[in-house]
Amino acid sequence: MGYTVGMRATARPSLGPADYPFSHPVRTRFAETDAMGIVHHSAYLPYLEEARVAYLRDLGRSYAALHESGTNLSVVEAWVGYRMPLRFDEVVDIGVVVAETARAWFQIAYLLTVDDAVRATAVTVHGAVGNDGRPQRLPDWLREPPWD
């Protein structure tokens, strides 16, 4: 085929909640479940996005402010490892950590737990692009973040 799938997501999410400097709770919704009350796999990506946006906001960096400054953080790859199902009305704690940065992209690792039981791990890879859609360098605050 000429291309390889999954080459950017190299981070290995830790199973230890203490390895994540930020955690964001999300309550699962009925609309995201099947007839057995299990959350559909497609609902996990919006959970990751919600946690990622909350993490940046906690760092004092909103997506709106980034866009206004001419930087957008596009998702270029996502990986989720499902370990145990999420169910309707559970509160999922989503641990977030920046796992790796490079010149124009970075990876975030996630740990999804309910009552300290690991339910899933995930990695998203993001590329920095300008408002014109062209690749650009990551902002300095993201390349040399406070989590180092």
Residues known to be catalytic: 34
**How far is it, in rounded angstroms, from Cα 35 to Cα 32?**
10
User: Do residues 105 and 126 touch, judged by C-beta distance below 8 A?
Assistant: yes
* Nearest C-alpha neighbor of 98 from the set 124, 130, 77, 118: 124
Which residues is 25 bridged to in the sheet? 93
Concatenated DSSP letters of 78-105? EEEEE-S--BTT-EEEEEEEEEEE-SSE
**How far is it, in rounded angstroms, from Cα 76 to Cα 53?**
16
